[in-house]
Structure 1
Amino acid sequence: MNPSHASSQNLRGIFLMVASMALFGVEDMFLKWAAEGLPLGQIIFVSGAFGLPVFVVMARAQGRRVFVKEALQPAVMARNIGEMVGSAAYVAALATVPLSTVSAVLQAMPLAVTMAAAVFMQEQVGWRRWTAIAVGFAGVLIVIRPGLEGFRPEALYVLITVAGLTLRDLASRRIPAVVTTAQVSAWGLMAVTVLGAGMMAASGSVQAVTPWQGMVLLGAVAFGTAGYWAITAATRTGEVSVVAPFRYTRLVFAIAIGALVFGEWPDAMTYLGAALIIGSGLYSFARERARKRASQLG
């Protein structure tokens, strides 16, 4: 690849990643408001059903169809399952846990992806990165504090979110490049819509939406759909080791929104755990980049 082209792709990927984190931060604000008075399944259904048409239209504009045999590929199905698990657990966490705590634990996702890639995809991970992964997950334990006075069982929803989204990201790597971002996004939101409908049917819990709740849901859909597209495009643009570390900007947006909108100020333990998670994640990315550079020179 031409160096100038690679640099341009990396810059584009970084911009998309930071933009997606900002958009998701605003979406989280709307979802947290929505979760104060609406059933979980209803929120998930609306998030998927209203975002889905956007990507269907985008795919059609690119000359692509959504209902094609590629949608049944094992990698796509695995990605959809991860999307469903991650989405349900994440909305549940937002409803019950401070925004900064949710975001801090979520920062462990790149480490989880690295660990899962080593275990399930036989990617080479040296002892230094394994150490970074261990330090990062120690940070997660500090944030959620199992067994201590500050522990909130609801924080475990975030760990389920990390597991689901890790599956989503690993499966995304196996989807052929000929499949467009719009198609992948449409399939994921289609799965989320089906999940929300199933949850509503199972619980029988559907509530009339007030004008305020309608605006909140519309805001969540608008910002979430934009963020969803941006992060999917970011993960398929530029070098992963360059683009992925900018996921951590989400914590900055989450802390700012949590403090300014919800009056949630993280305590010292949350800051310490977040610092360990982010520091170990950045180190892991740096080691991966150095390894790739060394293999290219060798």
Structure 2
Amino acid sequence: MDNIKGMAWMTLAMLAFALTDMVLVFATRALPLGQVLFLFGTGGAALFALWAGLQGHRWWSPVLLMRPVMIRNGAEVLATVSFVTALSLIPLSTLSAVIQANPLLVTLGAALFLGEKVGWRRWTAIGVGLAGVLLIIRPGAAAFDPNLLFAVAAAIGLSLRDLATRPVPKTVPTTLLASYSFAAVGLAGLILIPFAGGWQVPDAAMVGIILGGILLGMVAYFAITAAMRVGEIAVVTPFRYTRLVFAFAIAVAVFDETIDALTLAGVGVVVATGLYSFWREAQARRRAA
């Protein structure tokens, strides 16, 4: 029953993330990039700070200056700035496909930087999965879009954020970590405002859309945390790929995008190798236990 609850929470989180992506597409089409980052960052930071306060935690805390937290905030800035920039330049379906390499990149980073043991089977899965990413972005092809590199940077930033989260003590509340990350993104947006289109006064509808996006982001953060705490990681984590299903549905139904066969083939390779990597990691944990 706990695993079923965990799968449900993870699926809800991925739906909320996909809907947040949709909101960001609308926002970047109406407002300058730096302003969008600033509004989402400061809004999310304020709401998560309020949430942390209700839990009895002080926002200004020595936790903010911990090395893993600072690295995590920097990675969040790289991931979010690259992700939102990519949303404004490339199709949502393509971006969603590329970032599915995140679990493979996390495994790669854990082996290279955290000393985690990775067998030859998972190394092979990583190599094949990254080949699937190349199939999606197709560097060197006539139709290659350099803006796809923002999607690659977003995937790398997300992976670095996940790796930096591991050394953070479990006593540090998720709400504080989320508030710090959003605040870092808001600061990055503030710095970019003079260089990325300035500032425009949003209308009432856009204000509502942005607030809705921030709330969806909070739902996603809460749901993914609940999923990882309720169910077994090996069972729950593969449901991260449901985000791709939701993203493709939104891309086709809302933004009238078309998904070509090579992209679908690349996605199939990335997802298959990611699932295999999850399975091998679960096997290794069982043996260690």
On whether the aligned pair clears a TM of 0.5, the verdict is yes
> Residue in 2 aligned with 1:3?
none
> Residue in 1 aligned with 2:158?
165
* Mapping 1:1-298, distance limit 5 Å: 8=2, 10-203=3-196, 205-235=198-228, 238-296=231-289
- Name the count of aligned residue pairs: 289
Q: For 1:260 and 1:41, how far apart are their aligned partners in 2?
A: 28
1:49–1:193 Cα contact (<8 Å) kept: yes
Amino acid in the other structure paired with 1:231: I
Amino acid in the other structure paired with 1:175: V
Amino acid in the other structure paired with 1:169: D
Q: For 1:170 and 1:238, how far apart are their aligned partners in 2?
A: 21
Scaled by the length of structure 2, what TM-score is found?
A: 0.95
| Structure 1: gaps of 5 or more residues | 1-6
- Quote the offset at 1:11 in angstroms: 4.1
Q: For 2:34 and 2:225, how far apart are their aligned partners in 1?
A: 24
2:28–2:36 Cα contact (<8 Å) kept: yes
> 1:36 is paired with a residue of what secondary structure?
helix
Q: Residues 33 and 78 (structure 1 numbering): CA distance in 2 closer, same or farther, change over 3 Å? A: same
- Quote the offset at 1:145 in angstroms: 0.8
CA RMSD of superposed structures (Å): 1.6
Larger CA deviation: 223-232 vs 17-26: 223-232
Amino acid in the other structure paired with 1:77: M
Q: Please give the per-residue CA displacement for 1:220-247, whole angstroms capped at 9, x wherever unaligned.
A: 2221222133334545554433322111
| Structure 2: gaps of 5 or more residues | none
Q: Please give the per-residue CA displacement for 1:239-294, whole angstroms capped at 9, x wherever unaligned.
A: 43332211111100001000110111211011000000000000010111111112
Q: For 1:236 and 1:91, how far apart are their aligned partners in 2?
A: 29
Q: Residues 259 and 23 (structure 1 numbering): CA distance in 2 closer, same or farther, change over 3 Å? A: same
Amino acid in the other structure paired with 1:263: D
Amino acid in the other structure paired with 1:253: F
Q: For 2:176 and 2:155, how far apart are their aligned partners in 1?
A: 23
1:255–1:265 Cα contact (<8 Å) kept: no
> 1:262 is paired with a residue of what secondary structure?
coil
> 1:263 is paired with a residue of what secondary structure?
coil
Amino acid in the other structure paired with 1:188: S
Q: Please give the per-residue CA displacement for 1:155-202, whole angstroms capped at 9, x wherever unaligned.
A: 111110011111110111111111111111111111111111111145
Q: For 1:272 and 1:96, how far apart are their aligned partners in 2?
A: 22
2:228–2:236 Cα contact (<8 Å) kept: yes
